[in-house]
Chains A and B, each alone.
Chain A
């Protein structure tokens, strides 16, 4: 695996001003992170810990109050955005209802065309990758929540970005579909070989998917600890019952709980 840094986040602050400016919320506080190329990196934390904010800053969708995000080639999020180097998958699929699965997957290729790369995956490859060959011409309303989200993943991979940002992509799915999608994503990632920054509040999800889990604490958003996941790949459902897995789960839960206790003291 390449050891070069893909994302370098340094001293990142984000302060939101709410209401008519009378209240300030510190979403991120002097946050430092390094994500290596090709790594599956999860950010885990309770709701409101600023993990989605972090992802949106890395994706260039919002501006930090202070601090920097640098991509591996010394560019910032906006340059990466313009070069279509970032594929974003959101909690809601956000598909266009007036066009088919193929139409949705092709949409990012039709915008900002000058940044398209010469050799992209074909639509057939993408459909096959997410297992939607039979649904190429279906409209979003004809798909289940899981299939909609898979369309969203294919759409983010269509322009072959180096980096995939995923904001609780399975958060809106039911538990059974969610668990299926988890292994679906393991399979997709193991084939697609992208750097992934993945935001979640599920401990199981973060362990099964990731190389590294960053545990975050809320208000202000900070990284409480990094847990390196040394489970063999390909990851399988059986691993959820191994003692290594349970050890990791324990360590992560401990890091989260430590935070809760501190919260009570304050």
Chain B
């Protein structure tokens, strides 16, 4: 008869030892890209300086940062916050709608058969091109931006969630059936948790899409926001401000991606993708 052994316990580390390991890992992960970024920025600065490239073609990084930090309120609050709110609201609405529709479709095979193929096709089209139409329909307000962002998020999340809900292990499903689980119990206790990795992976692509949606809708017509600001400054040949706007947008994208990554880390502690070594 086999007697199982205890789980092998990791050696207990002191506080300072733990911190040293954490710092070392951080340095190993973060240092190389930071160094690379600094090198590229310096090379850019030197190149523009030496070749005497005109500011309206390519401004120097130092000028861009000067402009950015000279008027933080203008870039981050007056315009940045507008685009950020549009993107976030669009993402939230798109995600909530997509999840609800997916659950609805999971309950009806006929409905799923008619809608799922369409969703896959629409996901493959550049939906962004309807931005001008949304402006025609909803005016220069923030609504067309939110709708654009929501639409871009909706289809990837819908398709991924349906795939996640459907792809449960046949054995797990058979076990649930063998104790006469109801459809609702199977959905809540098996399909929903199983679909989480699929949902979060769709969230990751969708948060960036939501920013793109908001910006492009602003291009099509807006009173405020980074998209509109970039459009106007480019027309004025103020490339320094254009680059500053791009920098703010990039920060936004990175922030949102980090947010989803954090969500993923805390929800998917059990999933292969999160289990290291």
Contact residues of A with B, CB < 8 Å?
A: 56, 59-61, 78, 81-82, 84, 86-88, 90-99, 107-108, 110-112, 115, 131-132, 134-135, 138-139, 141-142, 146-147, 155, 159, 165, 180, 183-184, 187
Asked if B13 is at the interface (CB within 8 A of a chain A CB), the reply is: no
**Contact A184/B2 with A94-B169, A94-B174 known, Cβ cut-off 8 Å:** yes
**Contact A108/B193 with A138-B7, A141-B270, A184-B1 known, Cβ cut-off 8 Å:** no
**Size category of the binding interface on chain B:** 20 to 34
Chain B contacts of A147 at CB under 8 A?
A: 4
Q: Mark B144-179, 1 if CB is under 8 A from A, else 0.
A: 000000000000000000000000011110111111
**Contact A92/B1 with A61-B177, A112-B185 known, Cβ cut-off 8 Å:** no
Q: A112 near B171 (CB under 8 angstroms)?
A: no
Residue of A nearest to B184 (CB): A111
Asked if B189 is at the interface (CB within 8 A of a chain A CB), the reply is: yes
**Contact A81/B171 with A111-B189, A141-B270 known, Cβ cut-off 8 Å:** no
Most buried by A among B170, B171, B178: B178
CA distance A98 to B271 in the complex (A): 7
Chain B contacts of A95 at CB under 8 A?
A: 172
Chain A contacts of B4 at CB under 8 A?
A: 131-132, 134-135, 147
Inter-chain pairs besides A90-B171, A91-B171, 15 sampled, C-beta below 8 Å: A81-B177, A81-B179, A94-B169, A96-B172, A96-B193, A97-B271, A107-B189, A111-B189, A112-B179, A131-B4, A134-B7, A135-B4, A139-B270, A147-B4, A183-B1
Residue of B nearest to A98 (CB): B270
Across the interface, A81 reaches (CB within 8 A) one of B2, B178, B190, B196, namely B178
Asked if B6 is at the interface (CB within 8 A of a chain A CB), the reply is: yes
Q: List 13 A-B contacts (CB under 8 A).
A: A81-B177, A81-B180, A82-B180, A94-B169, A94-B170, A94-B174, A96-B190, A111-B182, A112-B179, A112-B180, A134-B6, A135-B7, A165-B178
**Contact A84/B179 with A92-B169, A93-B171, A134-B6 known, Cβ cut-off 8 Å:** yes
Chain A contacts of B171 at CB under 8 A?
A: 90-94
**Contact A115/B6 with A94-B172, A139-B270 known, Cβ cut-off 8 Å:** no
Contact residues of B with A, CB < 8 Å?
A: 1-7, 169-172, 174-182, 185, 189-190, 193, 196, 270-272, 275
Q: B178 near A61 (CB under 8 angstroms)?
A: yes
Residue of B nearest to A56 (CB): B174
Chain A contacts of B3 at CB under 8 A?
A: 131
Most buried by A among B6, B7, B171, B179: B179
CA distance A249 to B203 in the complex (A): 58
CA distance A90 to B169 in the complex (A): 12
Question: How close is B179's CB to chain A, nearest CB, in angstroms?
Answer: 5
CA distance A60 to B3 in the complex (A): 35
CA distance A95 to B5 in the complex (A): 21
CA distance A141 to B178 in the complex (A): 24
Q: B270 near A187 (CB under 8 angstroms)?
A: no
Question: How close is A62's CB to chain B, nearest CB, in angstroms?
Answer: 10
Question: How close is B200's CB to chain A, nearest CB, in angstroms?
Answer: 13
Residue of A nearest to B2 (CB): A180
Chain B contacts of A135 at CB under 8 A?
A: 4, 7
Residue of B nearest to A92 (CB): B171
Residue of B nearest to A107 (CB): B189
Chain B contacts of A92 at CB under 8 A?
A: 169, 171
Question: How close is B250's CB to chain A, nearest CB, in angstroms?
Answer: 34
CA distance A263 to B275 in the complex (A): 49
Across the interface, B275 reaches (CB within 8 A) one of A111, A141, A155, namely A141
Q: B193 near A98 (CB under 8 angstroms)?
A: yes
Across the interface, B179 reaches (CB within 8 A) one of A78, A111, A184, namely A111
